[in-house]
Amino acid sequence: MTINKYTYQKSGVNISAADKFVNFISKNTGKKKNKNKNIGSFGSITSIPKNFKDPKIVASTDGVGTKIEIANQLNKFDTIGIDLVAMSVNDLIVQGAKPIIFLDYISINKINIKKLKSILKGIKKGCQISQCSLVGGETAEMPGTYSKNKFDLAGFAVGIVDNKKILKKKNVKINDLVLAVPASGVHSNGYSLVRYILKKKKINLKKNKILSSDLLKPTKIYVKEILKLVEKNLICSCANITGGGIEDNLKRVIPKGLCANINLSKIKINKIFKWIKKQGVNDKEMLKTFNCGVGFCILIKPKNFKKVKNFFPKNYKPYVIGKIVKGQKKVSLYEKFLW
């Protein structure tokens, strides 16, 4: 009898554990009888909603960056999945698209069922908030690529929008208001700088519960509110404020010849950004790296301001931070943050 010296499991890949996780996913996602028949198939099949006259498909993909390392450090993984969903669906709604399906990709050094179940819990919750379906994904065990306990996440979302409802920057006109919708916190950008500060200052997150909670606070998902505004034709354009901050993201939705004049002193800054600022980060770096309290921007007609506010919950009421004027710069920042 020949002894099998070389097996996939001996190389570090446990297919049995992967199969158990796939079985867990299939029983805990989907709508009908709590099962998703797509899970385990080669591809996921989804019907196109019938209430779209001239549907256009919008797709987005993203990850959560090094916020993963904060989750690893604190051994807390139940919210990072919400971040993963948020990063993709918040991009879809910028064009007015309704998210309909979401897929995830998890790559990990070694399959840890408990950790993966916790991550999936967050992904599932993010999909519920976004009112889209988790229809599939991939879990890759990659020994040698990732060191012990390390992993990475990627998400992929598909949405649909009626052609007439697509939000385009040509809709933006002079005197339109620029509203800031509050962020829940740091969201999922700038964590390499945050972690650099923690390392240099020798801050132990495990001993600082308040800071730990602030840094792991999941990204706010704006789907419900923004889609209602799109439905009611109350929005001209909008921007998801992610990497690059307010200026870099807002200029992407401003037409040529116009400028969003932003008063930085009007911005309501989250306490976590005040903490980061105190560690020695200047205003220019704060603006370039973080959302600074503005998770999303919406551009509207002044007459619609009161109506728009009513679509948001108490902690996320939008407020005016600027208006559209003539100009070639697209975004102009004036005044200073009121730290």
pLDDT value at 29 more than 90: no
Q: Given strand 151-162, what is the order of strands in its sheet?
A: 55-62, 151-162, 98-108, 133-141
Of residues 51 and 219, more confidence is placed in 219
Same domain, 68 and 92: yes
* DSSP, residue by residue, 94-153: GGTPEEEEEEEEEEESS--HHHHHHHHHHHHHHHHHHT-EEEEEEEEE-BTTB-TT-EEE
Let me know if residue 201 belongs to a domain.
Answer: no
Same domain, 178 and 134: no
Same domain, 159 and 181: no
Report pLDDT for 40: 61
Same domain, 30 and 136: yes
pLDDT value at 32 more than 50: no
Report pLDDT for 143: 87
Report pLDDT for 48: 86
pLDDT-above-70 percentage for the chain = 88
Instruction: Summarize pLDDT for 174-186 with one digit per residue, the tens.
Output: 999 999 999 999 9
Instruction: Summarize pLDDT for 224-240 with one digit per residue, the tens.
Output: 999 999 999 999 999 99
Let me know if residue 7 belongs to a domain.
Answer: no
Expressed in angstroms, the distance from the first to the final Cα of the chain is: 74
Tell me the average pLDDT of the chain: 91
Output the domain CATH number for residue 175. 3.90.650.10
Helices and strands (H, E) in the chain, number of each type? 11, 10
pLDDT value at 38 more than 70: no
Q: 127 is in which domain, residue-wise?
A: 15-39+47-165
pLDDT value at 49 more than 90: no
pLDDT value at 131 more than 60: yes
Structure pTM?
0.90
Separation of alpha carbons 26 and 243, rounded Å? 34
Report pLDDT for 323: 97
In the three-class reduction of DSSP (H, G, I as helix; E, B as strand; rest coil), residue 78 is classed as coil
| Position 21 confidence tier, pLDDT thresholds 50, 70, 90 | low
Let me know if residue 198 belongs to a domain.
Answer: no
* DSSP, residue by residue, 254-271: S-TTEEEEEEGGG----H
Same domain, 148 and 19: yes
Report pLDDT for 33: 42
Same domain, 26 and 142: yes
Report pLDDT for 24: 61
Instruction: Summarize pLDDT for 156-166 with one digit per residue, the tens.
Output: 999 999 999 99
Same domain, 27 and 145: yes
Tokens representing 328 are 């070639």
Output the domain CATH number for residue 159. 3.30.1330.10
Of residues 74 and 21, more confidence is placed in 74
Same domain, 248 and 313: yes
pLDDT value at 35 more than 80: no
Q: What is the mean pLDDT of residues 104-133?
A: 95
Report pLDDT for 158: 98
Let me know if residue 205 belongs to a domain.
Answer: no
Same domain, 248 and 106: no
Tokens representing 119 are 């991550």
Q: What is the mean pLDDT of residues 270-288?
A: 97
Instruction: Summarize pLDDT for 310-324 with one digit per residue, the tens.
Output: 999 999 999 999 999
Same domain, 130 and 176: no
Let me know if residue 158 belongs to a domain.
Answer: yes
What's phi and psi for 28, nearest 5 deg? Answer: -120, 15
Separation of alpha carbons 339 and 332, rounded Å? 20
Separation of alpha carbons 339 and 337, rounded Å? 6
Least Cα distance to 299 among 165, 159, 212, 180 occurs for 180
Let me know if residue 102 belongs to a domain.
Answer: yes
Let me know if residue 9 belongs to a domain.
Answer: no
Same domain, 114 and 173: no
Per the structure, the count of domains in the chain is: 2
Let me know if residue 328 belongs to a domain.
Answer: yes
H or E element in which residue 298 lies = strand 294-300
Same domain, 116 and 236: no
pLDDT value at 1 more than 60: no
